[in-house]
A and B are shown apart, each in its own frame.
Chain A
C-alpha cells in the first residue's frame, strides 16, 4: 500500500512538473507582451499631442475627430529610443500599440475641440438669424 502511494505521488509530481515546463514559457510570453503594451501606452500618454488636435477639431468639427480616430491619416512613429536594442517582435507590438493609443488620444482631444467648434457655429448661426430678423423691419400702413 505504501509502495502504491509513493507510485501515485511520483506520477502526480511528474505530471505537475511537465505542466510547469509547458506553462512557464507561455506565461513568460504573455508577461513580455503585457509589459510591452504597458510601455507603449505609457510612452503614448507622454507623447500625445492634445492641444493641437483640440484646435484642429475646433476648426473642422466632426471631420477631424472622425478622420484622426479612423487612423487613416495620423500614424505617429515611435521615438527611436523606445525601440533601440529591442527584438523585432517587441518593435512590431510596441509600434502598433503606440500608434493606436496616440490615435485614441488625438481623437479624444479632437472631439473636445469639435464640441467647442460646434457650439461656436451654433451660436454664430443663432446670432446671424437674430440679427437678420432685427434688420427686417416690416412696415405697417
Chain B
C-alpha cells in the first residue's frame, strides 16, 4: 500500500450514503435511487430501490447482481481489472490529493494558481501517451470543483463538475457530481446527488454478512 492508500484506510473504514443518479443519453433519461455501503478497502454494496429492487456487490474482480423480489442472481467475474462503480469512485477519489492520478501513472506537467484556486495539468503515462490525453484538475479553497479528460488531440472528452462539498477528516467530499461525456456525434450526461452521508458507522448486518440464499440459482459469467 502506498502512503495515500494507507492514510485513506485509516480515515475511512466505512461509508454509507444515499444517492440519486440521473443519466441522459440520446433524448432518454433514466433515474435510479438507492444507497451505497462501502467497506474499506474494496467492498462496495449498492442497494437500488427505484426503479427496481437490485443489489450490486462489487468486491475485487467479482460483481454480484441480486434481485430479491425476482429471486435471480448473476455472478460476473473478471480475470483482469477489479470492478468499481465510477460514480462512487469519483466521490471517494477526492481523499487523494492528486485524485489517484499518480497511482495511474500520470505525472504533473504544470500548475497555475489564482486567488484560492489551483489548476494542475497532468500528462498520461508515457507508454499510453498515444491513446490517452491530458487531465486537468481544478481545486478551489481545497475543494475539487472540476476535472477534465482530454483526448490526444486536446479535445475534452469527459468533464466533471463537483459541488456542494462536505468536510470530513481532512477532505472536502462533493455531494453533487455532474459528468458530461462527449462522444463522436453526441454526448451523455450524468448527475449524482448524495445525501445522508455517514462515515465510519456500523454497516447493517445484512450488508456485512451478505450471501445469496441457497435456493437461488446464480448465473455465472466469467472469463
Residue from B34, B63, B183, B222 in contact with A80 in the complex, judged by beta carbons closer than 8 Å:
B63
Residues of chain A contacted by B86 (CB below 8 angstroms): 79-81
B74 adjacent to chain A (CB < 8 Å): yes
A84 touches B48 (CB 8 A): yes
A22 to B111, CA, bound (A): 64
* Nearest CB on A from B87, distance (A): 7
Chain A 90-110 interface mask (CB, 8 Å, partner B; 1/0): 011001000100000000000
A138 adjacent to chain B (CB < 8 Å): no
B51 touches A85 (CB 8 A): yes
A75 touches B222 (CB 8 A): yes
A81 touches B65 (CB 8 A): no
B contact patch SS: strand
B54 adjacent to chain A (CB < 8 Å): yes
B85 adjacent to chain A (CB < 8 Å): yes
Residue from B78, B219, B222 in contact with A92 in the complex, judged by beta carbons closer than 8 Å:
B219
B119 adjacent to chain A (CB < 8 Å): no
A46 adjacent to chain B (CB < 8 Å): yes
B65 touches A75 (CB 8 A): no
**Which residues between 1 and 50 of chain B lie within 8 Å of chain A, taking CB atoms?**
21, 30, 32, 34, 46, 48
Known contacts A75-B221, A95-B221; is A84 also within 8 Å of B78 by CB? no
Size band of the interface chain A makes with B: 20 to 34
Chain A residue nearest to B84 in the complex (CB): A80
A137 adjacent to chain B (CB < 8 Å): no
Residue from B52, B183, B219 in contact with A87 in the complex, judged by beta carbons closer than 8 Å:
B52
Residues of chain A contacted by B85 (CB below 8 angstroms): 80-81, 84
B65 touches A83 (CB 8 A): yes
B58 adjacent to chain A (CB < 8 Å): yes
A77 touches B223 (CB 8 A): yes
Residues of chain B contacted by A80 (CB below 8 angstroms): 56, 58, 63, 83-86
Residues of chain B contacted by A76 (CB below 8 angstroms): 223
Chain A residue nearest to B67 in the complex (CB): A88
Residues of chain B contacted by A79 (CB below 8 angstroms): 86
Q: List 25 A-B contacts (CB under 8 A).
A: A74-B223, A77-B77, A77-B78, A77-B83, A80-B63, A80-B84, A80-B86, A83-B56, A84-B21, A84-B32, A84-B46, A84-B48, A84-B54, A84-B85, A85-B34, A85-B51, A85-B52, A86-B52, A88-B67, A88-B70, A91-B65, A91-B74, A95-B74, A95-B76, A99-B221
Other than the given A51-B131, A85-B51, A87-B70, 15 more pairs (CB < 8 A) read: A74-B223, A76-B223, A77-B63, A77-B76, A77-B223, A80-B63, A81-B86, A83-B56, A84-B46, A85-B30, A86-B54, A87-B52, A88-B74, A91-B74, A95-B221
